[in-house]
Amino acid sequence: MNIFAYGNREALLTLATQSPSAFPRWANQRRWHVTNDIKLHILESGTMEADLTWLLLKPGRVIKTRDHRHDERAWGQVPTHAVLIDHPDGRILWDTGVPRNWAEHWAPTGFDEFFPVIDDPQADTGYLDSSLKQLELTPDDIDILVLSHLHFDHAANAKMFDNGKTRIVTSQAELDGVATITGYNQGAHIPDDFKGLNIGGIAGDDEILPGVSVIQTPGHTWGTMSLKVDLPNDGTKIFTSDAVYLADSWGPPAVGAAIVWNNLAWLESVEKLRRIAQETDAQVIFGHDEEQKKELTFAPNGFYS
């Protein structure tokens, strides 16, 4: 059963009552808490390097591999992040970052030459599992995992949450899209990252828990989603995922990227996010912005509420 099948939060409570093992934190509740006790943690989940032309197209530029990182060009860091939301009605995780075995896992795609990860795969920092551990959490402590889309730098660690407890969801459009993939990969989608998982599909914009919503922002992929969290003290935060890579992508006007499935849908999604951000006076947090990362508070050094 899809927890969003009925398009409202009562469906989630219905499923929780029917399947208490899936949502033990709120299985027997009959009403939703007010949202004055939310804590939002931004987690390190691996940092790549790349020719930034991947993220921001410029005339006359040709994308090159890491062998050219010292050329006179814009080679820089491409950080990833996950978002942990401690909510009275459950604990939500948004995205999972890059895998520790990225070199071997990405080699058949060729992307290991274009997006090498700078974090030591043997270190106890930098990756999602270590970020959760810093907060004294494990994957079993997550009630709902929401994947913005299924690219290898967002869904690579999804199988960590195949524990019989965590409910995993993404956009239905994304699920329909990846179902057509044959072979090891199609672009940055690697089916082995999510094959065999029971992933529920979300159709349309929807509220997951009070104050926590997903926004359909396709274009980068078939079903890329963004996350909106309304915090009582720190205001509304919008996490764009790869719907908007960088502040320079945001504009206005919006500037495109090399990895876009549908350019028109992408542009419409950026303007949709811009409208929502203006209406809610939201802080917009971009998918891979190295400069913006310096301005954000990352766990375990603090949180937003």
Residues of the chain with pLDDT under 50: 1-34
The number of residues making up the chain comes to: 305
**Which residues of 203-271 form beta strands (DSSP E)?**
206-209, 212-216, 225-231, 235-239
**pLDDT recorded at residue 75:** 86
Cα 83 to Cα 61: distance, rounded to the nearest angstrom: 33
For 21-42, how does the pLDDT look when each residue is reduced to its tens digit (9 = 90+)?
333 333 333 344 446 789 999 9
- Helix locations, the chain, DSSP H: 9-18, 102-106, 128-134, 172-178, 247-250, 263-280, 290-293
Q: Which distant-in-sequence residues (6+ apart) come within 8 Å of 290 by Cβ?
A: 76, 77, 78, 79
**pLDDT recorded at residue 73:** 63
b (16+ CB within 10 A) / e for 140-167: ebbbbbbbbbbbbbbbbbbbbbeeebbb
**pLDDT recorded at residue 285:** 99
Q: Is 10 exposed, middle or buried (0-12, 13-18, 19+ CB in 10 A)?
A: exposed
**pLDDT recorded at residue 35:** 65
DSSP labels for 97-148?
---TTHHHHHGGGTGGGTS-B-S-TTSSSSSHHHHHHHTT--GGG-SEEE-S
CATH code that applies to domain 34-293: 3.60.15.10
Cα 18 to Cα 32: distance, rounded to the nearest angstrom: 17
pTM for the model stands at: 0.88
**pLDDT recorded at residue 61:** 64
The tokens of 188 are what? 């940055």
Q: CB count, 10 Å around CB of 297? A: 12
Query: How many helices (H) and strands (E) would you count in the chain?
Result: 7, 11
Q: Which residue has the tokens 């930098």?
A: 126
Paired with 132 in beta bridges are: none
259, 243, 248, 224: which is closest to 54 by C-alpha? 259
**H/E segment holding residue 91:** strand 90-94
Q: Which is it for strands 225-231 and 212-216: parallel, antiparallel or unpaired?
A: antiparallel
For 52-64, how does the pLDDT look when each residue is reduced to its tens digit (9 = 90+)?
999 998 755 666 6
**pLDDT recorded at residue 32:** 46
The domain limits of the chain are 34-293
**pLDDT recorded at residue 60:** 55
Return the sign of the alpha-carbon dihedral for residues 57, 61, 62, 68.
Answer: negative
Q: Which distant-in-sequence residues (6+ apart) come within 8 Å of 206 by Cβ?
A: 4, 7, 213, 214
**pLDDT recorded at residue 72:** 62
Cα 7 to Cα 144: distance, rounded to the nearest angstrom: 17
Cα 47 to Cα 98: distance, rounded to the nearest angstrom: 8
Q: Which distant-in-sequence residues (6+ apart) come within 8 Å of 264 by Cβ?
A: 219
Q: Which amino acid is at 14?
A: T
